[in-house]
């Protein structure tokens, strides 16, 4: 099944990874062309931990 996800936040990315992992064709659409200057305050660390738990590589 093809699925469009609106928003490249940690929730959108986690949803895409999960859906692709169970056989769907999920694509994330994000309107920003660069990260926010201070996105989410302390959520960045939680996002990195979640990405690591999901088996994603972190890129700077």
Residue 58 sits at φ, ψ, to 5 deg, of -85, 135
Report yes or no on 37 lying in a domain.
yes
Report yes or no on 59 lying in a domain.
no
| 60 residues of the chain, pLDDT tens digit each | 999 999 888 889 899 999 999 999 999 998 877 776 665 656 667 777 887 888 876 554
pLDDT tens by residue, 43-56: 667 777 887 888 87
Report yes or no on 58 lying in a domain.
no
Residue 7's nearest CA partner among 26, 31, 34, 42 is 31
Domain that holds residue 8: 2-53
Long-range contacts of 17-24 (CB under 8 A, 24+ apart): 17/54, 17/55, 17/56, 18/54
Percent of the chain residues past pLDDT 70, beyond the cut: 77
Domain count of the fold of the chain: 1
d(CA 19, CA 59) in angstroms, rounded, equals: 22
Report yes or no on 43 lying in a domain.
yes
pTM across the whole model:
0.59
């Amino acid at each position: 099944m093809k699925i469009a996800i609106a928003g490249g936040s940690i929730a959108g990315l986690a949803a895409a990874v999960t859906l692709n992992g169970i056989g769907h064709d999920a694509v994330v659409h994000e309107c920003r062309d660069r990260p926010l200057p201070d996105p989410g305050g302390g959520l960045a660390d939680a996002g990195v931990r979640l990405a690591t738990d999901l088996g994603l590589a972190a890129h700077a």
